[in-house]
Structure 1
């Protein structure tokens, strides 16, 4: 057999065909449509967990302040200035420390902050308003 009688085999150029690329892109898009909503939902759940924890820590600091000083703090910043908090935390929903709503103490009590709530608009994943937490 001579080399001339065999068909000439050309080496195939490297790379993928357009069809192979389209199939891979379709698979990736399908996986993303399943994963992204779950990821965004988990981010919202984590923000709500941080909000609950921040409210609990600030309420505990207010209680300790009242036990030590015999009055309620005038502002949340006073809690930080007197080292009951390291700093006033950011509201994780609004990303601002200025949106906390300070509730005044009952009649006859001294001070300005009896309780604290979030000033974030909207509802949680459970359906209740952030303002009621």
Structure 2
């Protein structure tokens, strides 16, 4: 009687098979990554527009209630017109906001606020012009 061995030799992947799989993954990533980055940029721009709108609304309400403009953005937060000074979504900092003083001699220092972020948005406009 012939005795047969009961163990099987496991077959691994060849280098060619691994390279084909890695090439397919790289192709998928090259398609998905730019779309992901574009969506991130769009989300930052939308958040920036909403933050500017909320701060401008708070400045107007402050002026209507107090009869003067706030001395700093932090005053809007301490007086509860804002919960907190928002972080600029593009620079990811709260100290890059550019404060625009009142056009005429008026008390207060913050008539308007703009982003201090360098660069341009997807539509070609500068963040600082918003």
Q: TM-score, normalised by structure 1?
A: 0.89
SS of corresponding position for 2:21: helix
> d(CA) in 2 for partners of 1:58 and 1:14?
64
Q: TM-score, normalised by structure 2?
A: 0.91
**2:106 is equivalent to residue 112 of structure 1:** no
Q: Deviations over 1:4-63 (max 9, x none)?
A: 9xxx9x844232222211111110000001100111111111111110010000001001
- Structure 2's unaligned 5+ residue stretches are none
> d(CA) in 2 for partners of 1:45 and 1:121?
16
> d(CA) in 1 for partners of 2:106 and 2:64?
13
Compare 102-111 and 10-19 and name the one that shifted more.
10-19
**2:125 is equivalent to residue 128 of structure 1:** yes
- Structure 1's unaligned 5+ residue stretches are none
| 1:96 alignment partner, one of 84, 93, 104 | 93
Aligned-pair RMSD on alpha carbons? 1.9
> d(CA) in 2 for partners of 1:125 and 1:29?
27
